[in-house]
Amino acid sequence: MDSDTLVLMYRKMLEIRLFEDKVFELYGQNLVPGTIHLYTGEEAIAVGVCANLRKEDYIVSTHRGHGHCIAKGARLDRIMAEILGRKTGYCKGKGGSMHIADFSVGVLGATAVVGAGIPIATGAGLSIKLRGTDQVAACFFGDGASNQGTFHEAINMAAIWNLPVLFVCENNLYAMGTHQARVMLIDDIAERAAAYGIPGVLTDGNDAIAVYKAAEKAVERARGGRGPTLLECKTYRQKGHSRFDPATYRPKEEVEEWLSKDPVRRLRKQLREAGTISDDKLAQMERDVAEAVEAAVTFAVDGPHPAPREALEDIYA
Amino acid sequence: MDSDTLVLMYRKMLEIRLFEDKVFELYGQNLVPGTIHLYTGEEAIAVGVCANLRKEDYIVSTHRGHGHCIAKGARLDRIMAEILGRKTGYCKGKGGSMHIADFSVGVLGATAVVGAGIPIATGAGLSIKLRGTDQVAACFFGDGASNQGTFHEAINMAAIWNLPVLFVCENNLYAMGTHQARVMLIDDIAERAAAYGIPGVLTDGNDAIAVYKAAEKAVERARGGRGPTLLECKTYRQKGHSRFDPATYRPKEEVEEWLSKDPVRRLRKQLREAGTISDDKLAQMERDVAEAVEAAVTFAVDGPHPAPREALEDIYA
Amino acid sequence: MRKITYRDALREALLEEMQRDKTVFLLGEDIGRYWQGAFKVTKGLAEKFGEERVLDTPISESAIIGTAVGAAITGMRPVAEIMFGDLVTLAMDQIANQAAKIHYMFGGQSRVPLVIRTPFGGGVNIAAHHSQSLEAWFMHVPGLLVAVPSMPSDAKGLLKAAIRNDNPVVFCEHKLLYPIEGLVPEGEYTLPFGAAEVKREGKDVTIVATMFMVHEALKAAEALEKDGLSVEVVDPRTLVPLDKKVIIDSVRKTGRLVVVSEDCKTAGVTAEIAALVAEEAIDYLDAPIKRLATPDAPIPFSPPLEKHLIPDEKSIIQIVKKIV
Amino acid sequence: MRKITYRDALREALLEEMQRDKTVFLLGEDIGRYWQGAFKVTKGLAEKFGEERVLDTPISESAIIGTAVGAAITGMRPVAEIMFGDLVTLAMDQIANQAAKIHYMFGGQSRVPLVIRTPFGGGVNIAAHHSQSLEAWFMHVPGLLVAVPSMPSDAKGLLKAAIRNDNPVVFCEHKLLYPIEGLVPEGEYTLPFGAAEVKREGKDVTIVATMFMVHEALKAAEALEKDGLSVEVVDPRTLVPLDKKVIIDSVRKTGRLVVVSEDCKTAGVTAEIAALVAEEAIDYLDAPIKRLATPDAPIPFSPPLEKHLIPDEKSIIQIVKKIV
Ligand SMILES: Cc1ncc(C[n+]2csc(CCOP(=O)(O)OP(=O)(O)O)c2C)c(N)n1
Ligand SMILES: Cc1ncc(C[n+]2csc(CCOP(=O)(O)OP(=O)(O)O)c2C)c(N)n1
Ligand SMILES: [Mg+2]
Ligand SMILES: [Mg+2]
């Protein structure tokens, strides 16, 4: 892998990490309405996948979507503003944390209905095929989502039409308080690909380089007209499921083990060991990212709330 | 296999065959309102499965359901009366061909929504487990139905709870005019069982004995508390999909090949060759069945139509 | 103008729009060359435009709509068919939560130019799972448009307009309408959404009716004329947007209102139209509003049962007579 | 009687019915020991009754309801939870085509004693996919019963009655009601379906309101009293069956009707109630019927936007003043 890509990936992962830490902090200060689902600990997946995508490629995101959007190139400030319910946010405050979209960089939006994005990604793939471009679409969803009927229907459809779609299962072992083992008998969701006659690939979702390489192959396949791939990335959420979840249903040792596999620290270590980036540059980057996140907060907090009557705009195109 | 069972199976298959031939004839005479979907050619499946079931076991049926009901022990006359829309039918004329039920023999009813019966069968299995009986539930559905989200969700649920359910896929190669190969990349739907960590078994659906044996194992497993099985039976419908379908989308050679594999003739031949039943007894049985079907027609045709105001009964229990 | 069937008018609309705009494509179960659509609306289109633009799908209603949504937000104009209206139940999340809300939820960033065609209605003895009329559900979902054409010309004009509209449209057809003939303009012909049509003028009582019920209402009006009653029949043609003005103007003129729809009575189409008039035009009324709808029951199979439930000329005449 | 929350009243109903009847069991996503229900209604029940009777399910809404249907027709009395009311969209076939129609379609052979609990409503800033009120869809499906309790005591009485009912019941809860406290009878306490309650007597105007809107209507009534207006607040408590008599009697008394509901206006709860009165009691009215509902828009995320849409004490006062 070339070092520019690696450095860029590290930067994006760091952006996500610090962004989510900041969101966590802000909601402690009661600045974030509603609920939120942090991507902390899963950064390698969005970044490893999106590092293979071009601006005009698409992604479909989920309730745990901040990381996806940042990885695909959406702006920190407008995401933050949206999370804070400001008019300056991507969705003018109408969407919030669970519904970020930035069509200008191919983020087709996040749905808060678990599994509902999967057929939408198939549709994006169909659109690409019908329009005859060489774009690809990547769809993120969780282990829990893979038990939805949409998973079955939509992956099958992408398979029979040979569509350029990556189905990326972010298996963080839990859907809210429900451990994977309590809702499916198989260990690897990647196995389900066989039901549709497409490749199922398993990868370490906390290893950005591994994700990058697995996604690279799948993207190559898709762009080459050889159809969809189901890519399962094993990972773990470092925080609770949502705002108020203390996540006490997870054994302490399990949490600790996974914290020790932190994907951001891991890539940092790899970069340093391989000498891909100097410590100075790293420190500079880390300062830059922290500043960018601060700037995003300032932008967000300074943004006005939407006027009440705007609630009645944008209902119809 | 013991000969009583084999003879009984042949009789049931013959009942279904002659019953469906008669329905075909009756709708030629405009006696059957609406549409119908004949089971002709698929008799070995319902009969092979149900020969392993007890009266208190359950089945869940489909739009192509006459054969399932007959195999499970429902009465020809009341099925026929229902198909003709008479008050004497199983559903008092409210259900018709696509919605036959006979709860007294464990036929939990047919749904005309493709795939909708699959979770209902899972529910029957859950009920059995919670009530602690040793019943089993068998669910019939088509190749087309296996692309529905319900297939995925409901089989997974039966798997994780280890429920006594047989998921019987009647793969007749087509869903209406759609060949299986156009809507899935895999050859054998039984392969999909792996996605749920349960056994997937493939069998010749035109061979009653093969179906019987495959179902026997699955029923044993289920009754023994060892969970569900997905059983795929390869078969073919000898007629069009429904009332007016000339089925011209099927190559002539394909139709002919499958007609030559007729399951009723096949079992008849096996019985005669093995000397399981004498030719006299066979002839007698065939006369008996033809008479029983005639009697069913008489019962049905003699039955009154429901009174219009009955349309407003049975809405709430 | 030639006389063609409602079915052919729909097909003509599809064909013309597919010719006009390469981004228009069709998807649904058995709509292609092998079956040509359960009601033959798409007959010949796969042969003409190729299987890539007339896609036969697996039996996966939720993914049919979801896929159409994904295509719609990335530059295409899909027309999805749900083979029977009863089966929209399987795709309600994609219709009501995704298609309907994407434009709003994302602050107007994306449009969802998607048409969902589906046949509703009873009358052909195929029982509770193939006979419902569920258009009221969609009226209740902001973000969707709802078309309910009753005549071949309306079918053509509204379907062409629906395909060009940038919002998701639930396009309701009716099984008994497909074979009905009427004059239909050739070539370019579109109708605006939100424009009701007075299908027959009258001055004693207003009947607002939709889809197949328009035909029954017109028959009833004719019969009532012999009794000296002058009946106005208003066809909203689209339920969202609903043309309040034409309805209220008619009520203002006649002072009497009967609303007729084939969907179940409670919380259905007749409820909304009756409520609207009770809110905005109660002072013009000289009699209670009457609603005639299918009573709250599933549709039964047996012909005498089904016939008993669904409104028709006779029951329309009866109810009109109650308020004049 | 002690004061307990609506949440605790629901839990008490579940607990008592599970104790009383071994065939009662619960299933849903994260209702068990690990999460205790998204709104903690089922807290402690898995510990008490075991994981076989309080089943955590995969995220498979359609199969949750389908499985419950299968259990219901084979001797069990399932209480299924759909974590958010917006997600009923994923199970509409099993609810509207299977659960609702099985009794009828099979000629009365089987009963479907199934309760579907789900929280509707906005007010907590979780946007368009987690804030809808869709009870009108279920009113439109014959074969279903629909409960809409507003008070802790109603919640307990109706849930116990729902569990004992042999029909499928859609049991609508509301996120903002869970923490609300009220007096609730201990032990055996059931309420009949179809019995509205006058929550406050008055003589100048009738407000029919449901669920959280009952509370806003009561506040509005209190405020209006200071202006010398006597407001009657009627809570239907169940939408199917709907207690027409209590509503119409109230309208006959006051001559004025405002219907308030949190669901979207078009073809919603307010439409049905307004239409009912326009059909059956128009002569008692001294003013147009007024409907106050959430305007036809998805629910937005940002607090000022959401607050602007959903009816509250203030907007109820405004609309009442328009017709007195
Ligand atoms: C269809 C649906 N069911 C339930 C919910 C409530 N819910 C929100 S997130 C979630 C868990 C999702 O788990 P998973 O797919 O593994 O994603 P993760 O949160 O672990 O990233 C649930 C059940 C929902 N939003 N949508
Ligand atoms: C959910 C749903 N979609 C579509 C239909 C229309 N339809 C009725 S039967 C059928 C084909 C079913 O094929 P399969 O499951 O293979 O069963 P088969 O008819 O071959 O026995 C279709 C599409 C339906 N009834 N339900
Ligand atoms: Mg997860
Ligand atoms: Mg088939």
CATH of domain B3-302: 3.40.50.970
Q: Which residues line ligand 1 (CB under 6 A)?
A: A 37, 63-64, 112-115, 142-145, 170, 172, 174-176, 241; D 29, 59, 61, 83, 87, 90
Instruction: Indicate if the alpha-carbon torsion angle D171, C274, C89, C303 is positive or negative.
Output: positive
Distance (Å, whole) CA A91 – CA D137:
29
3-class SS shares of chain B: helix, strand, coil, % to 5: 50, 10, 40
Find the Cα–Cα–Cα–Cα dihedral B275, B278, B283, B284, rounded to 10°: -130
Cβ contacts (< 8 Å) between D108 and chain B: which residues?
92, 313-314, 317
Task: State whether residue D51 sits within 8 Å of chain B by CB.
Answer: no
Distance from CA of C190 to the nearest CA of B (A): 33
Ranges of residues in chain C with a pLDDT under 50 are none
Q: Is D29 in Cβ contact with A112 (below 8 Å)?
A: no
Six token digits for residue D71: 């259990």
* CATH fold for domain C197-323: Rossmann fold (3.40.50)
Touching D: C residues 204-263, CB under 8 Å: 240, 242, 263
- Per-residue confidence (pLDDT) for residue A243, from 0 to 100: 86
Residues 35-64 of C with CB under 8 A from D: 62
The pLDDT value given to residue B243: 86
* Residue in C128, C140, C300 closest to D267 by CB: C140
Q: What would the mean pLDDT of A293-312 be, rounded to a whole number? A: 98
Residue whose C-alpha is closest to residue C112's, from A65, D295, A91, A123 = A123
Q: How big is chain D by its Cα radius of gyration, in Å?
A: 19
Which ligand 2 atom is the nearest neighbour of the CA of B172?
A: 20
* Residue D103 annotated as catalytic: no
Task: Give the whole-angstrom CA distance, residue D229 versus residue B274.
Answer: 93
Strand partners, D235: D197
Instruction: Verify cis geometry, omega within 30 degrees of 0, for the bond prior to C241.
Output: yes
Flag residues of chain D having pLDDT under 70. none
pLDDT digits (tens, 9 = 90+) for C171-197: 999 999 999 999 999 999 999 999 999
- Average pLDDT of the residues of chain A: 98
Which atom of ligand 2 is closest in space to residue B141's alpha carbon? 15
Cα dist. B284→B12, B71, B204, B269, C41 in Å?
Answer: 14, 20, 29, 16, 50
Pairing outcome for strands B178-179 and B174-175: antiparallel
Looking up tokens 């471009």, which residue turns up?
A133
As a whole number of angstroms, the distance between CA B177 and CA B172 comes to: 11
Residue A1 scores a pLDDT above 90 = no
**Beta strand C238-240 with D2-5: parallel, antiparallel or unpaired?**
unpaired
Among C40, C90, C301, the strongest candidate for a mutation testing the B interface, having the largest count of B CBs within 10 A, is C301
Report the residue from C88, C267, C298 with minimal CB separation from D271. Answer: C267
**Which pair of structure tokens corresponds to residue B230?**
């997905």
- The full set of domain ranges for chain A reads 3-302
CA dist C271 and C290 (Å) reads 10
Q: What does the buried/exposed string (b/e) look like for B92-125 if buried means 16 or more CB atoms within 10 Å of the residue's CB?
A: bbbbbbbbbbbbebbbbbbbbbbbbbbbbbbbbb
CA proximity to C239, closest of C145, C132, C123 = C145
Residue C140 pLDDT: 98
Q: Given this model, what pLDDT does residue D99 score?
A: 98
Q: Is 1.25.40.10 the CATH classification of the domain at C2-184?
A: no
Nearest by CB to residue C137, choosing from D93, D105, D140, is D140
Atom nearest to B170 CA in ligand 2: 21
Compute how many other C-beta atoms are within 10 angstroms of the C-beta atom of residue C186: 11
Chain D contact for A315 (CB, 8 A cutoff): yes
β-pairing, C257-264 with C231-235?
A: unpaired
Catalytic, out of C103, C129, C130, C174: C130
Distance CA A265, CA A272 (A): 10
Cα separation, A140 vs A138, whole angstroms: 7
Is the Cβ pair A159, B191 closer than 8 Å? no
Three-class DSSP category at B279: helix
The two tokens of residue C269 are 């189409």
Ligand 2 pocket residue status of B172, Cβ below 6 Å = yes
Give me C310's structure tokens: 């669904």
pLDDT of residue B244: 86
Report the run of H or E that residue C16 belongs to, with start and end. Answer: helix C6-20
For residue C134 the two structure tokens come to 């569920």
Chain B touched by C92 (CB under 8 Å): no
Residues of chain D with CATH 3.40.50.920: 197-323
Mean pLDDT of A152-161: 98
D193-216: buried (b, 16+ CB within 10 Å) or exposed (e) per residue? bbebbebbebebbbbbbbbbbbbb
**Residue ranges of chain C that CATH labels 3.40.50.970:** 2-184
Nearest-angstrom CA–CA distance, C19 and B161: 53
pLDDT at A257 over 90: yes
Place of tokens 């605006």: C192
DSSP string, D208-250: EE-THHHHHHHHHHHHHHHTT--EEEEE-SEEES--HHHHHHH
C137 CB neighbours in chain D (<8 A) are: 137, 140, 267
Can you tell me the ipTM of this complex?
Answer: 0.99
CB A53 within 8 A of CB A72: yes
Radius of gyration of chain A (CA): 19
Query: B154 CB under 6 A from ligand 2?
Result: no
The burial class, CB within 10 Å (0-12 / 13-18 / 19+), for A232 is buried
CB contact under 8 A, A112 and D130: yes
Question: Touching check for C134 and chain B: CB below 8 Å?
Answer: no
**CA atoms of C96 and C109, how far apart (whole Å):** 18
Rounded Cα distance, A176 and A242, in Å: 8
What does each C-alpha distance from C317 to A140, A296, C257, C290 come to in angstroms? 57, 67, 13, 12
Burial of residue A261 (CB within 10 Å: 0-12, 13-18, 19+) is: middle
C-alpha B111 to ligand 2 mean position (Å): 11
Q: How far is the CA of B146 from the centre of ligand 4 (A)?
A: 9
Give me the helix-helix angle, B279-302 and B3-28, nearest 10°: 40
- Give me the pLDDT at residue A244, please: 86
**Cβ within 8 Å, pair B176-C309:** no
Q: What is the DSSP string of A78-95?
A: HHHHHHTT-TTSTTTTSS
A270 to chain C, minimum CA–CA distance in Å? Answer: 38
Per-residue pLDDT tens for A222-238?
A: 999 999 999 999 999 99
pLDDT of residue B149: 98
Beta strands, E only, chain D: 2-5, 24-28, 54-56, 77-81, 115-120, 145-147, 169-174, 181-184, 197-200, 205-209, 231-235, 238-240, 257-264, 290-294
Q: Which of D36, D65, D129, D302 to mutate to test the interface with A (most CBs of A within 10 A)?
A: D302
B113/C90 CB distance under 8 A? yes
Helices (H), B51-184: 66-72, 76-83, 117-131, 149-160, 180-183
Cα C234 from Cα A45, distance rounded (Å): 58
Atom of ligand 2 nearest to the CA of B145: 15
Residue C140: C-alpha distances to residues B155, C248, D117 (Å): 33, 21, 21
CA of D258 to the centre of ligand 1 (A): 39
* Closest-CA residue to D272 (of C238, A249, B119, C268): C268
Q: What is the pLDDT of residue D239?
A: 98
Cis ω for the linkage preceding C311 (within 30 of 0):
no
CA distance D236 to D210: 7
Report d(CA A29, CA A246) in Å as an integer: 18
CB contact under 8 A, B157 and D57: yes
Q: What is the dihedral of CA B176, B182, B186, B188, to 10 degrees?
A: 20
C128 CB within 8 Å of a chain D CB: yes
What strands lie across the sheet with D115-120, from one edge to the other? D54-56, D24-28, D77-81, D115-120, D169-174, D145-147, D238-240
Query: pLDDT tens digits, residue range D266-311?
Result: 999 999 999 999 999 999 999 999 999 999 999 999 999 999 999 9
Are the C-beta atoms of residues D296 and A313 closer than 8 Å to each other? Answer: no
CA of A235 to the centre of ligand 3 (A): 9
Q: Is B295 on the interface with D (CB under 8 A)?
A: no
